[in-house]
Structure 1
Amino acid sequence: MTPSLIDRGRRVVCASFLSPTARPPEIEPLGAGRINDTFLVSSSGHVPLVLQRINGDVFPDPVCIAENVAAVTAHLAGRRQQSGGDERFPRLVPARDGKSCAIDHDGAVWRVIEYVSGAVSYPLVTSADQAFEVGRMLGRFHLLLDDFDSGVLRPPLPGFHDLPAYCRGLEQTLAEPRRSASGAARDCCLQVEQRLVDADALVRAHQRGELVQRLIHGDPKCDNVLFDRSTLRAVALIDLDTVSPGLVLWDLGDCLRSVCNPAGERPPDRRPGKFHLDLCRAVLTGYRAGGADLSAAERSLLFQGLRLLTFELGVRFLTDYLAGDRYFKVEEPEDNLDRARVQFDLLAQIEHQQAGIEALVADIWP
């Protein structure tokens, strides 16, 4: 992140969020998110805060994102207090004018969120205990939002998790790519073509009434879970920008895809990741322990949720690579292509282990 962006953030937080008499805070980059720019704000006499510039190139209405998060975090805080849980979901901190965000002179939208002290996130899961905690927190999140009026939310990303639409977007990008398709990219395109026939399996199940929409997180990967440093228990699910009505299998599929491949989305040695059944069992056991449940149809289609969400992310990485890296942040020109290759390798492993995954689901939900 450039010094100029940090300076912009400092001006915004001083002008709109901190007391007019507060000393200028220290601001430093926080985390490794691929979408928004995130900073830790430290000021004497004030608790630490998290400052974020919402990516207007990704989210069509950044103000809507801030308002959605304000509503969801307020509800989570109320439900947690009622239930007596130990979660510490961070709340959105309103600006001094009472609004959920502030807009700088360049039109960028900034928001401030509580900083959860004594907590840490992990880019990768390294044990079954961690995987259990990730699953438990996702189940708890779904449970605490089961009575939330989703009608107050505006769509954060129209078409999010619409796999058929992502496939059509890839086709359109291939017609006018900003990057020529290398041999590796062409191989990924072939992987997509081979799986187009049932890319709409979850959509069709929803249309038939077999799957119903609930409020979901939208991006429950392992580094969006905060763990208490002392107890090692999961205490929060963060990055709520994509919370919206959707299929719970989108969340579970994305969570399993992320957690059960300890090598991550871009292994440093570029070797294929591996889908671990023991971590899959831990996530699903934790999810049920968190108080959430699945319908019979959701259980029968859980494997497809995992498979299609992995497929989806591979398509999105590949499309972004060919389109010139407009969505996901990159450090090297081939980053998004490497990420796509990892997902398609992982997808092949998941498909090979279908029987084992479905047996796990039947064992956990007999």
Structure 2
Amino acid sequence: MINQVYRLVSPRQFEVTYQDFSLQTDLIVIRPTHLSICNADQRYYTGSRGKEILATKLPMALIHEGIGKVVYDPEGEIELGTRVVIVPNMPVEDDEFIAENYLQTSKFRSSGYDGFMQDYIFVNRNRLVEIPEDMNLHVAAFTELITIAMHSLTRFELRSHQRRHAFGVWGDGNLGFIMCLLLKKKYPESKIISFGKTKYKMDRFSFVDKSYLIDEIPEDVVVDHAFECVGGLGSEFAINQAIDLIVPEGSISILGVSEYPVEVNTRMLLEKGITMIGSSRSGRADFEKTVSFYKEFPEVVDYFTTLIGEVQKVTSIQDIIEAFEKDLISSWGKTIIEWNI
């Protein structure tokens, strides 16, 4: 069958290409229905990754957050029309100690390999996780982002001590919101404190116990563990502020991505015996945990609807461009694409 792939060929320019796929394989065919734009997609779209990196990545179909419907299963195990979230990480080996998302041999969609902006996605069976039938589809579209926070929680639980009276989360954007919500549900007896710099964004964090602007923190505020969800150059300030506020032998989980090195106050890091935990992306297990989380706490989906920003119906390449341009000027939330091209 002929598949149309909508690739970014240069900043702000998309072209359609055609690929011939055989159905005589064990791959399942998915029709994408709802996609979500990530900051990483925008860095490619705007060309901010730099010419050398773009030269090695493009042309490439963007988007690694999304859901779709099963339209063909060679084994006949999955009912046609079943809605699934697609795992963008594509491991080619197993390792006893290293998770699939840290294996250097793993491939990742929309990062050197075609993402979900295609008529059909051809995937291995273990790259799909079924979502609840009554799931809000706009929220389901950015499940991959939620799995990143879920993955960070798993690593935190394996590497931190058990005193968890108070958590601090730095970052008032999408990831900070998600991290706070997961912590509140996971540790309902703990105090969840959000730290940010934009009041109108922090006002949306209605479920946290306390929230502070980063330049208005009372002197008596302390946390047992911290999560950095800022990224960019701002992560330097966030990490060092967390080091100042954390009690000895706590942990700091780093989730924010920065294109440039940041300076860290190693003197206090060592003096307090702080454990720093880095985490990136996620794997199938994190998608399964996230879907189970939806089912266990269905009310969280309503909270996640707060993160829905722009919704763009896409039936042409021009619509794709409009979706990315709207996302650039959006001050809050995720841009969702209803994929009807």
On whether the aligned pair clears a TM of 0.5, the verdict is no
More strand by share: 2
TM-score of the pair, normalised by structure 1: 0.28
Structure number having the greater helix percentage: 1
